[in-house]
Structure 1
Amino acid sequence: MSYLEYAVKSVPSGPRKLLYLNWPLLLLVCTVAGAGFLMLYSVAGGSFTPWAEPQMERFALGFVLMIGVAMVPIWFWRNMSVVAYVVSIVLLISVEFFGTVGMGAQRWIDLGFMRLQPSELMKITMVMLLAAYYDWLPAKRTSHPFYVLLPLVIILLPTFLVLTQPDLGTAILLVAAGGAILFLAGVHWLYFAVVIGAGVGLVVAVFKSRGTDWQLLKDYQYRRIDTFLDPSTDPLGAGYHITQSKIALGSGGLTGRGFMQGTQSRLNFLPEKHTDFIFTTLAEEFGFVGAVSLLVIYVLIIAFCLVTALSSKDRYSSLLTMGIAVTFFLFFAVNMSMVMGLAPVVGVPLPMVSYGGTAMLVLLGAFGLVQSAHIHRPR
């Protein structure tokens, strides 16, 4: 009996699949989403509009999507990896021609009932394709220069398209997640040493190019770097966001000011309080205890993803699940670092807590893939 025949016969079928869901992971995801609803209700001054109610509707839709994806065998998603990636590339290109502009960037496609951000979809479809590629590639060829070239193209093509929007934060996440997949697949460490060296050179070039005809970043991106290095240089301008964020974080203390008692958010000192900086609102209202509790839940979500990856018998499921776990980690690690002043402000939302439709749906779809790998692994 082949491995595929064994896998097909050893997994549950029909409604019995629901019994094989990774229920702890499902409950943790719902807990984080519930915390997000609570915070969006708070920042709106005790109202479900304009943020909490739409977010709850999107979560309901995303939850159905997650369960639907989970019920489909994981080998179907493996076969669909190329299609999903190509569709994401087409959508990214479409943004250049039909995209809507918001906050100085052209990142969305208006579908009427929602605004789709293709770069969010690319974070997962890229991981799907890389996992499928290394599942197909024999292990002995993993580090061969010829076979490393295609994964680099898979990573750098969407990164370039995202940078033109411009969206530096998502571009960084794509490169980091793609590099993690290559490392997990077993690509030789010398490749990473070369990339790190090139990265250092790029950072030097970025600073050297400032104010020249070949300037590599936008002016506002340079201002973000200046703000990161010294927010006090412009506390009422470019440094305003991070200054107010630090005030909110510090004022929460150990247990916080109390639900809906945060002065920074209630008095509108904190900008983007419902999206990128919602973590500071949570920390102000629930203090160190609330912030650490959310972080613990995030870590537990990653732990359950890794358990599924380690228990998977096929390379695709393992790499896909670990790739999703890494992507999820990058989401909250970059956001939390950003609002605490440990990283430049790059516009990365806090997963399933920040207001946003595409990010919520994509993440829930990604956890549906994790659940599919968990349900359909041989027993």
Structure 2
Amino acid sequence: MKAWEVRRPGLGIGGLLLRVDWVLVILLALTTAIGFAMLYSAAGGNIRPWAGPHAMRFAVGLAIMLAVALIDIRFWLRCAYLIYAASLLLVIGVEFVGDVGMGAQRWLKLGPLSIQPSEIMKIALVLALARHFHALDEREANGWPMLLLALALIAAPALLVARQPDLGTAAMIAVGGVALLFLGGISWRVFAIFGIAGGALVPAVWYGLKDYQRDRVLTFLDPERDLAGAGYHGFQSKIGIGSGGEFGKGYLEGTQSHLGFLPESHTDFIFTVISEEFGLAGGLFVLALYLAIMGYGFAIGFMARNDFARLLAFGVTFTFFLFVFANIAMVAGLIPVVGVPLPFISYGGTAMLTLQVGFGLVLSAKVYRDIEMEDEASGRPAGPGSIAAIR
């Protein structure tokens, strides 16, 4: 019996909607509302050019997210590799017909729309790896054929995205993939071997970096070496965060963004705008929202009754965590500057829609948690025992 031929639960649309985790949906909507308010502020008190489109994109994405949530999770199991292959083709397409912007070739032009395939790839990789480890026991997962296939699934998009060049996104793809390897039951010995090999490649990676990428790393290590050049973004961000104090300067009263000192205040550095106008209290409130979203996502993963759903929920939620960590650590000067948006708050279409589709998959794992799936190749149940215990 194939995985998608198992009897479907006798629920209509109304019954399925009742199974949706609406608290998670509300948390995402509240985070987006904060994004709307901060984009309005970053534009000097104007709904255009960012706040209005931001709200409209979320509304469209919300409908898509709910549609994804109501689709039987066995459909996503069946189509996981196909979605991965299509996403990889889009990433490859950037190499040949991609639009160049801000010194990088990262976008594909589809009529009036521009999409960033590397963002789509983050969720597609989670789907593919969840499918890969579906119904594998620990011995099979650690066998060289399955291990090399998993590594190839990660390496192909990561290397292609690094060529664009977009090392920040490439690193997120790689780290997210490695996290799924761990959750999929790969042993610590394998991680140790590849960790040593990766360390040996550091000099080669450094040699292969572009000049501006080396400057970012060197500026991170010595922030005062080039305050007017490579260190300008980080320096102005720290000024904005520090000047906000405990409770901020007040809504629409931030100077770093309104006076033009802070570049990209509507995208990568919007957390600085929040901290300047609402202070430490505002920043902590946003962090609390993100923690609540992650808590719900991981809880759905722990409650899942099959391995595909479990890995899917964990993988999407961990990808969301990487977005949050990379952005906030960047604006706080804890890591070099990378082009990673703040989820549901920064202005950007592809990243928001990708995460909404991802959370739609997480909600699907919740809606269809009572389904038992079989591995279509072996016919074995794909239950909790087929993947090594979460360590």
Letter in 2 for 1:357: G
Equivalent residue number for residue 251 of structure 1: 243
Query: Residues 186-225 of structure 1 correspond to what in structure 2 (within 5 A)?
Result: 186-207=185-206, 209=207, 216-225=208-217
CA change 1:60–1:4 in 2 (3 A) is: closer
SS of alignment partner, residue 107 of structure 2: strand
| In structure 1, C-alpha distance between the alignment counterparts of 2:167 and 2:347, rounded to whole Å | 20
Q: Which amino acid aligns with 1:67?
A: L
Equivalence for 1:358: 350
Can you list the C-alpha shifts for 1:67-113, whole angstroms capped at 9, x where unaligned? 11011011101111011001001101111111101100000011233
Q: CA deviation at 1:202?
A: 2.5
Contact 1:352/1:360 (<8 A) preserved? yes
Q: 1:270 aligns with which of 262, 265, 288?
A: 262
TM-score (norm 1): 0.95
TM-score (norm 2): 0.92
Structure 1 stretch 259-268 or stretch 195-204: which is displaced more?
A: 195-204
Aligned to 1:90: 89
- Computed over aligned residues only, the root mean square deviation of the Cα atoms, in angstroms, reads 1.7
AA at the equivalent of 1:289: A
2:8 is aligned to: 8
The question of whether the paired residues in 1 share the 8 Å contact of 2:67 and 2:360 is answered with yes
1:301 to 293, 296, 302: 293
Bigger Cα displacement from structure 2, 251-260 vs 198-207: 198-207
CA-CA distance at 1:4 after TM superposition: 7.8
Q: Is contact 1:335-1:348 (8 Å) kept?
A: yes
User: Aligned pair 1:290/2:289, yes or no?
Assistant: no
Distance in 2 of aligned mates of 1:54 and 1:206 = 39
* DSSP 3-state at the match of 2:8: helix
Mark the CA change 1:100 to 1:300 in structure 2 (over 3 Å): closer, same or farther: same
The correspondence of residues 1-379 of structure 1 with structure 2, limited to 5 A, is 8-9=8-9, 12-207=11-206, 209=207, 216-378=208-370
Deviations 1:153-204 (A, max 9, x none): 0000001110111000010001100000010111001111122222322323
Q: In the alignment, what sits opposite 1:213?
A: none
Q: Which runs of 4+ in 1 moved over 4 A?
A: 1-7
- What secondary structure is seen at the aligned counterpart in 2 of 1:109? strand
The answer for unaligned runs of 5 or more in structure 2 is: 372-391
Q: CA distance change for structure 1 residues 247 and 138 in 2, over 3 Å: closer, same or farther?
A: same
Query: Hey, what's the Cα distance between the residues in 1 that align with 2:6 and 2:161?
Result: 41
User: Structure 1 CA distance, aligned partners of 2:349 and 2:4?
Assistant: 36
State the alpha-carbon separation in 1 of the partners of residues 188 and 29 from structure 2: 38
Find the aligned partners of 1:7 and 1:30 in 2 and give their Cα distance.
Answer: 34
Alpha-carbon distance between aligned partners in 2 of 1:23 and 1:315, rounded to the nearest angstrom: 23
The one-letter amino acid paired with 2:200 is G
SS of structure 2 residue aligned to 1:232: coil
Q: Deviations over 1:329-379 (max 9, x none)?
A: 000101111111100111111111111000011010111101111111118
CA offset digits 1:105-143 (Å, max 9, x no partner): 000011233210000000000000000010043443111
